[in-house]
Amino acid sequence: MQGLLFDEEQSSAPAEKNPNTASAELARLFETAKSCQQCTLAGSRLNFVFGEGNPAANLVVIGEAPGAEEDASGRPFVGRSGQLLDKILLAAGFQREEVYICNILKCRPPGNRNPQSDEIASCMPWLLQQLHIIQPKVILMLGKVAANTILDNTLSLGAMRGKLIQWKGYDCFITYHPAALLRNPNWKRGCWEDIQVMMRHYASLCGTTSPSEKQKNQ
C-alpha cells in the first residue's frame, strides 16, 4: 500500500521513542491515511476515524470499526459504547487520554456490519503502522470480531478471554466489546475479571497500574 512506513512483516517493536517523535509520526501517518481510497467504504464515510490518545501509550485499545456517531465525529468510541469504555478504563486506573484508542477499520461499514476481507486487507496496514509507532506494552482487543480479525483465527470469545496472547511481539488480551455489555449487562462481571487479569500483567511490565496511579504515588 502506498504510504507504508515499514515492512508489514516486521514483528517486533523498535527501541524506545520520544513521545514527541511518536506524535509527529502519527500525525504524518494520518495525513497519508485520511484520503485512503483502498476499498468501497471510502465512498460512504463521513470521516476517516484514525484513532486518538497518548502517542506513547503503554496500552492500546482496539475495536473492529467505527459506528454512526464515530463516523459523524471522526473520533473512535464516542457513543454509548465509548462512554462505557471510558468507565471501564477509569475503573482500571486510566484516564481516556492516557491510552490510545482505535479500530481495525477506519471507515464505518454500512449498517455497522462486520468487516469484509477486502476492507480488512486495506485497513490492517494502517493499524500495524499505528502500533509500530506507539509501541504499546499491552493491547486490549474488544470483542470476538476484532480479535478474530487481528489474530486471524475463528476461536470463540470464551476461548480467548482472560489470558495472555502473543501477536507480532505484542502482549494482547481480549474481552467483550462495550456494545455487547450494553446488550447483556450480565457479562460486565466477566469483562471486569478480564480487565483485572490484563492489569496484573500490565503492572508486572510497567511497575504500576497506570500513569494516573503512578502520579498518585509520587
Q: 108: domain CATH number? A: 3.40.470.10
- Would you say residue 120 lies in a domain? yes
Residue holding cell 486487507?
121
- Would you say residue 28 lies in a domain? no
Contact 70, 105 (CB under 8 A): no
pLDDT digits (tens, 9 = 90+) for 149-196: 999 999 999 999 999 999 999 999 999 999 999 999 999 999 999 999
41 Cβ partners below 8 Å, 6+ apart?
Answer: 105, 107, 108, 109, 119
Which residue range forms the structural domain that includes residue 122?
A: 36-208
- Would you say residue 30 lies in a domain? no
pLDDT digits (tens, 9 = 90+) for 59-115: 999 999 999 999 999 999 999 999 999 999 999 999 999 999 999 999 999 998 999
> DSSP labels for 20-51?
HHHHHHHHHHHHHHTT--SSGGGGT-SS----
The band of 16, judged by pLDDT with boundaries at 50, 70 and 90, is low
3-state secondary structure of 100: strand
pTM (two decimals): 0.89
Contact 1, 122 (CB under 8 A): yes
Contact 59, 202 (CB under 8 A): yes
DSSP state of 138: E
Total domain count for the chain? 1
